[in-house]
Amino acid sequence: KRRLEVNTNLGPHAGSTAHRHDHEIGRASEELQRMEQGDEGWGCDPSDQDLTGESGALTPNTKQKYAAMVKLALNLSLLLNILLLLSKIFAYWKSNSKSVLATLADSFVDLLSQLVIAVAECSMSKYDPRYPVGKTRLETIGVIISAAIMSAASIEVMQSSVMELLSTQHEIALDIYTYFILGSTIVLKVVLFLYCYQLRGVSGSALAVAEDHFNDIISNTGAIITAAVASERADLWWMDPVGGGLIAVYIVFRWIILAKNHIDKLVGVCADPEFIDHVKQISDTHHQLLQTDAIRVYYFGQKHMVELEVILPANMTVRESHDIALELQHRIEGIDEVERCFVHVDYQSRQDELPEHKTERELILGQNSDISELSK
């Protein structure tokens, strides 16, 4: 059967592949303006938008507000980590505690992680013609690199704790300064964790920093308890290196989970069923003559890629079908969790279940599948 495919991607090179009439461009501009102004329910007031990332569109003002909040969270986290690193160096020098060493390594790697994320954020914000669809996936890669750095440092702390258990000299002395440093760290980290965690739905960087703060809360709490017991009870000296090792194991475990989650997003794991249903509902109600034939929604880094196959009447003109598909694309891309949307227009439903793209055909049907032969 014949197919009519409309490429609704308005990338930087779209003008070189198709010539559009002036009225079509005008229709697209009007549609975008309606979305930005909140017509038809697609805009939202900043006060009504949930920071946890529920499905919906964000107005430009709301996006700017969130961007400013994320920037403040990252800057405050960076400043706090610098101060805590210097303080924990002093605390470890005074106490010689392996639990304090574990938290010191954690703070040091926090700074390296934030540097990696900051470089990724800076690179993402700059247009580069070598990357025509942007570099948003750098944010996901930055989180994975941070997880690798944190895991490596924690393994070193484990090794140091084991060596401490095997040694014969155990000198641990906690004073008021060490208690104050670790105690104030917990309080400040709790405040920043709550602030960063509410931004987890709008920024992967904020989520990674929130994970840092949560790890610090657990590790510093454990460090105070184990180091204090080992310092006050000479016969329980082993609690300090054991505590340091357990803290390091916990940090590695948490970062492995976080890294796996972001690797899945980078590879292209399927979106949640609820989000797919939300996108399908938008498509189904977009136009009275349009039917949704197939939908694929998967992660493309931190956000989603949407592929829609829709059916429009066979006697509809290319111009009419193009306008309907383009408006649908803009509506889907108006959802903040969506990075890009492609709409494929057909004139009848699929008569078979054969995948139309080469990659799926090769995975499902085998490497030697030929669509021209299979379609006969």
The region of weakest confidence among 28-42, 72-86, 227-241 is 28-42
Answer yes or no: is pLDDT of 68 > 60: yes
Average pLDDT over residues 239-252: 84
CA distance 283 to 325: 10
CA atoms within 13 A on the CB side of 222: 24
Average pLDDT over residues 219-242: 83
Structure tokens, 108 = 């040091």
Looking at residue 229, its pLDDT comes to 85
Average pLDDT over residues 258-282: 93
Domain range summary for the chain, segments of one domain joined by +: 14-37+270-374, 60-267
Instruction: Please answer whether residues 197 and 122 qualify as being in contact, where contact means their C-beta atoms are separated by less than 8 angstroms.
Output: no
pLDDT digits (tens, 9 = 90+) for 316-343: 999 999 999 999 999 999 998 899 999 9
Say which CATH topology domain 60-267 has. Answer: Alpha-lytic protease prodomain-like (1.20.1510)
pLDDT digits (tens, 9 = 90+) for 275-292: 999 999 999 999 999 999
The candidate with the shortest Cα–Cα distance to 107, out of 154, 144, 68, 59, is 154
Average pLDDT over residues 180-205: 84
Instruction: Please answer whether residues 46 and 62 qualify as being in contact, where contact means their C-beta atoms are separated by less than 8 angstroms.
Output: yes
Answer yes or no: is pLDDT of 4 > 60: no
pLDDT confidence tier of residue 8, bands split at 50, 70 and 90:
very low
pLDDT digits (tens, 9 = 90+) for 9-31: 434 333 333 334 444 434 444 44
Please list the alpha-helical segments (H only) found in the chain: 22-37, 60-95, 98-124, 138-166, 176-197, 204-232, 239-267, 273-284, 318-333, 358-365, 371-374
Contacts of 176 (CB under 8 A, 6+ apart): none
The most confident of the ranges 78-87, 99-108, 254-263, 323-332 is 323-332
Name the residue with higher pLDDT: 306 or 231: 306
Looking at residue 170, its pLDDT comes to 64
Q: CB neighbours (10 Å) of residue 363? A: 12
pLDDT confidence tier of residue 376, bands split at 50, 70 and 90:
low
pTM listed for this prediction: 0.67
Query: Does the structural domain 14-37+270-374 have CATH classification 3.30.70.1350?
Result: yes
Looking at residue 106, its pLDDT comes to 75
Looking at residue 308, its pLDDT comes to 96
